[in-house]
Structure 1
Amino acid sequence: MIDHIADRRQLRKQSVVVLEHRGLHQTVDTPLASAVPKHLKGRIDLLPVDHRQSTSTSQISSPEDALSQIAGLRQQLRQKRDAAGPGNVRLVYGGMAPVPLTFLTGMMVGNEAGLTVMDWDRFAEKWREPDGEDDGDRFGVFGDEGLKDDVPEVALAVAVSYPSDADGIRATLGDMPLIRLALPTVSTTAHWSADKQSAMAKDFTDLLGDLMAKGVKRVHLFIAAPNSVVFTLGRHLDDRLHPEVLVYQYERSASPPFPWAVQMPTHGRSAAQIVRSVAIAIPSTAN
């Protein structure tokens, strides 16, 4: 009886912080809190991050305002851990938000203990964990063979759900060296294995480490991947051991197609910041 009372008291102390990240008007109505896995016990504590007031249709009209909503996220999580006590907080993350803001959120969360990452399954129409089987597909690296030592900046295109828009990257950055990290078969359903996501994160961070060793100081990052993968890649960015990273937003009808990026807070930079792109004229190849 005493043990049962103690268990109930401990359960009341436990908190499940639900970090739901929304930034797209074409999103889902089902709240993430309604899909918290049943094995996570405790009081539901909502921590919404919603950028939709900064958006116009599918575009972020004020990325600076959206960025400010994430700036204090790390401190908010720390306060919730401190309030609940050591070991009493579990974090559930899920969302549908622009790539640069999702990546930054992953970086802010980092190696948070007790983290459950969820994503929206558009075909089953529900939130779910990456609980599928690993198909064994892994990233291939392309375009790094001729990269010379001490090249200061490179573009890195990561393709999981869709092929990278190489022309759009050129229109944004010009003839900067372009390296591609791509699955052998890109698909919107290629990410439902936790083991596969872990392998993708390792390949990604290994490549960043290799580029750093070659003297690359800055990486311009273009990601075509589901939300949970983008978040996971952001979690594994090392703010000291990897190059500076700018993550770009894709808007197909914009000029250039990647009109802005978030420069991540690395190498002593205290805060992330928005960097605007300028369209670059691509010489015609016509005779």
Structure 2
Amino acid sequence: MKKAISYFIKKAADWLFRRRSPALIVFRAGAALLTVTLFGSWAVSFSYSDAARTLMFGYQSSNTSQLILNIGFVAGILLTFLGAAWEYQRYRDEKKLNDKKKTIIIEQRGLVDTSDYPLSEFIKNSCAWKVESIVQDIRERVIENVISRPDLALAKVDNMKISLAEKIAQSAASDISIAYGGVFPVPFAFYTGYLLDDESKIRLYDWDRDIGGWRVLDEVDDGEEFTVEQPSASGKSVVLAVSVSYSVDRPSIATVFAGLPVYYLSLPTLDRNNHWSREKQNRLSGEFLEYCKKLLGLGVEHIHLVLASQNSVAFRFGQSYDKRNLPSVSVYQYERHQTVRYPWCVQIPHEDGKNVEVVQTQFKHVA
């Protein structure tokens, strides 16, 4: 019972004071006018007495024009009822629209346990329509922060496209919105974005390790651009190493990819919190795309991508990668405590008849 009363009071306060709409402005103006006219027509008196003295204070609003009070009172009633009726109609229309709308949330769990703070619950707090989730959890394949069976994890990512298509088919495309967030290995986050490049606009979220919760990309663009280091010679197969949150492991790249030309893209400031701007991510993904096009123009047929970035950046870069025109790409996993620090990749071929697969590193390496 107490919970029901508390809920009613909370909703009433939200409706009366927090919600914003033209109808509620009219309602509140009418309520305020009604209150003022009622108080203006009341007589006010106060008295105090004890054994020694008596104090009395009185006020009667006899000087206030009764006609003005009557007009104000009637206007207050009319505005209050007009605002309430208008808001009710607006609420009904909004509810009809929200009943058709649906947000499909794709949440990928791998490197950090976010199950106590699911992305769906975070998003539900900011929307009034239906929310459905597709949760991909590969934590059973992660032992001591190392992915033991990346091939099985890849199979889960591949199934995501089918699950999403089934949920989208239940509603009109105009009523569907998609949200994505995760804490996933970089190759799989990139590949997820690659799979969803042709979907409608996707709203990105990322896990803030400092607060232990989800955040939307809502900061301003700081204008940082990639600095470029390129080798003197190129080839048909090259390494593209991109540093966003951390610096890539250059000594390991030199040994694992021995003999291959290496191109470096690096942000001037490497920080795990330098990615909270949607505009910045869009711009950097555009720079990444243009540089891949430049490599294509140099005759490159395959890119070995080493990417040190946050989850949402890896996803956004995958979205931007043109699967029809750019070279085929292999995206590498980094394991700092293993002998081969880039032990496997998700290989994404562009040739007909070839499937995306996890490939163990075959390059010559130094232990």
Using the size of structure 1 for normalisation, the TM-score is: 0.90
Contact kept? 1:239, 1:267, Cα under 8 Å? no
Structure 1 outlier segments of 4+, above 6 Å: none
8 Å contact 2:344–2:361 — kept in the other structure? Answer: yes
The question of 1:107 aligning with 2:191 is answered no
Per the alignment, residue 233 of structure 1 pairs with 317
1:46-195 correspondence runs (5 A): 46-144=133-231, 146-148=232-234, 151-195=235-279
Given that 2:182 and 2:311 are in contact with CA atoms closer than 8 Å, whether structure 1 keeps it comes out as yes
Task: State how far apart, in whole Å, the 1-side matches of 2:355 and 2:212 are.
Answer: 36
Q: How does 1:240-279 map to 2 (within 5 A)?
A: 240-268=324-352, 271-278=355-362
Partner of 2:170: helix, strand, or coil?
Answer: helix
Please tell me whether residue 36 in structure 1 is matched to residue 120 in structure 2: no
Code of the residue aligned with 1:147 in structure 2: it is: A
Give the letter aligned to residue 192 of structure 2.
T
* 1:30-83 deviations in Å (ceiling 9; x for gaps): 111121175544211010011111121201100110000011222322221111
Q: Deviations over 1:141-199 (max 9, x none)?
A: 1115x234xx1100011101111101111222112111001101111111111111111
Give SS of 1:83's match. coil
The separation in 2 between residues aligned to 1:210 and 1:152, in whole angstroms, is 13
**The residue matched to 1:47 in structure 2 has which SS?**
strand
**Pair 1:53–1:269, CA change in 2 (3 A):** farther
Q: 1:282 Cα deviation (Å)?
A: 4.5
Q: How is 1:197-212 mapped onto 2 (pairs within 5 angstroms)?
A: 197-212=281-296
- How many residues are matched? 280
Change (3 A) 1:119 1:254: same
> Which residue number in structure 2 is paired with residue 224 of structure 1?
308
Q: Which of the two has higher C-alpha Rg?
A: 2
Contact 1:171 1:257 in 2 (8 A): no
Instruction: Tell me whether 1:13 sits opposite 2:97 in the alignment.
Output: no
Q: Percent identity?
A: 31
**Distance in 1 between the 2:304 and 2:151 partners?**
19
Distance 1:43 1:187 in 2: 36
Please tell me whether the aligned partners of residues 25 and 57 of structure 1 are also in contact (alpha carbons under 8 angstroms). Answer: no
Specify the alignment match of 1:24 in structure 2.
111
Whether contact under 8 Å (1:11, 1:41) holds in the other structure is yes
Distance 2:163 2:354 in 1: 17
Letter matched to residue 174 of structure 2: G
Q: CA deviation at 1:112?
A: 2.3
Larger helix fraction of residues: 2
Tell me how far apart the structure 2 counterparts of residues 139 and 42 of structure 1 sit (CA, whole Å): 39
CA contact (8 A) 1:130 1:192 kept: yes
Displacement after TM superposition at 1:281 (Å)? 4.2
Question: Could you state the TM-score of these two structures normalised by the residue count of structure 2?
Answer: 0.72
In structure 2, distance between residues paired with 1:89 and 1:276: 38
Could you list the runs of 5+ residues in structure 1 that have no partner in the other structure?
none
User: Do 2:257 and 2:365's aligned partners in 1 also have CA atoms closer than 8 Å?
Assistant: no
Q: CA 1:36–1:252 in structure 2 vs 1: closer, same or farther (change >3 Å)?
A: same
Deviating more after overlay: 69-78 vs 190-199: 69-78
- Tell me which amino acid in the other structure corresponds to 1:255: T
Distance 1:281 1:75 in 2: 38
Q: Report how far residue 257 of structure 1 moved.
A: 0.6
- The two structures, once aligned, show a CA RMSD in angstroms of 2.1
Aligned mates of 1:137, 1:20 — CA distance in 2: 29
What SS does structure 2 have at the residue aligned with 1:197?
A: helix
**Higher relative contact order structure (alpha carbons within 8 Å, sequence separation ≥ 6):** 1
